Amino acid sequence: MSKSLLIICRQAPWSGPGAREALDIALAGGAFDLPIALLFLDDGVFQLQTAQHAVAVQQKDLTANLQALPLFGVDALYASTRSLDERGLSGQPLSLPVQALDDTALTVLIAQHDQVITL
Amino acid sequence: MATLHMLSHSPFSDSRLVSCLRLLGPGDGVLLTGDATYAMQPDTAQWQALSLMPESISLFALEEDLHARHLALPPRVKALDYPGFVECCTAFAKVNTWL
């Protein structure tokens, strides 16, 4: 039985390589059929915003990579309710079907996984 | 499965500590290294938040980073040298490094 991995992604898509690297880990793990879950926390929830325009800041669009997650078998997608609320994103359409969890549920989520990476 | 949360960024310029404290479960630990040790600065909201954590949460700090910053070790926090650091990591089911 492979060890389960929770990736906590807490960076906005444009703040540096962190967001992309976290996604790359998730996709690579998914390709090898590892049990992977992805949690969007803090500024990481900004990755879920729809209709972003990466070209405007000479960057590559992460949305395509995000859409690839289910194709790579990464279906366990979560976001922090608090982070969404704080950033005015609750109730907004998001680019991925994430399950919003409160802090207590997030504590349980972390406890349930064998390994955790926060980027 | 208890988690050791490892922080290395200053809590005065960054939200990692606040987010981490919200997600702690019973038996979890927090290890402060690098600029994260500034969280132990007395009379700050950051230290107050840390010190108000339930007793079941253990707090650790890397000794050399404390020394370097001339920070006093609060009674609640256990100072670790490098062998202690490694031992501490192995005492928890997993380590979550807030990179």
Ramachandran bin of B23, using left for φ above 0, alpha for ψ from -120 to 50, beta for the remaining angles? alpha
State whether B3 and A41 contact (CB < 8 Å): no
CATH number, span B3-97 = 3.40.1260.10
User: What pLDDT is attached to residue B43?
Assistant: 94
Higher per-residue confidence, A95 vs A16: A95
ipTM of the complex: 0.84
Contacts of A8 (CB under 8 A, 6+ apart): A22, A39, A41, A44, A116, A117, A118, A119, B96
Chain B residues touching A18 at Cβ < 8 A: 99
Tell me the pLDDT tens digit for each residue of B51-62: 999 999 999 999
Q: Domain residue spans in chain B?
A: 3-97
User: What pLDDT is attached to residue A61?
Assistant: 78
User: What pLDDT is attached to residue A101?
Assistant: 97
Chain A: nearest CA to B97, how far in angstroms?
6
Give yes or no for a contact between B4 and B94, defined as CB atoms under 8 angstroms apart: yes
How many residues are recorded in chain B?
99
Angle between the A18-31 and A63-71 helix axes, to the nearest 10 degrees?
Answer: 20
Q: How far is the C-alpha of A86 from the C-alpha of A99, rounded, in Å?
A: 17
Tell me the torsion sign for CA atoms A91, A106, B49, B44.
Answer: negative
Q: For domain A5-118, which CATH number applies: 3.40.50.300, 3.40.1260.10, 1.20.200.10, 1.10.3720.10?
A: 3.40.1260.10
Give yes or no for a contact between A9 and A22, defined as CB atoms under 8 angstroms apart: yes
User: What pLDDT is attached to residue A53?
Assistant: 78
Assess B22–A contact: CB distance below 8 Å, yes or no: yes
State whether A8 and B97 contact (CB < 8 Å): no
Chain A: nearest CA to B79, how far in angstroms?
24
- Closest by CA position to B24, among listed B4, B49, B47: B4
pTM attached to this predicted model: 0.90
Tell me the pLDDT tens digit for each residue of A13-66: 887 788 889 999 999 999 999 999 999 999 999 999 887 877 787 877 788 888
Across chain A, the runs of DSSP E, i.e. the strands, are 5-9, 36-40, 76-80, 99-101, 115-118
User: What pLDDT is attached to residue A87?
Assistant: 95
Predicted confidence (pLDDT) at residue B34 exceeds the cutoff of 80: yes
State whether B98 and A118 contact (CB < 8 Å): yes
Q: How far is the C-alpha of B36 from the C-alpha of B62, rounded, in Å?
A: 10
Q: Residues 87-106, chain A: which have Cβ within 8 Å of B?
A: 103, 106
User: What is the arithmetic mean of pLDDT over A85-97?
Assistant: 93
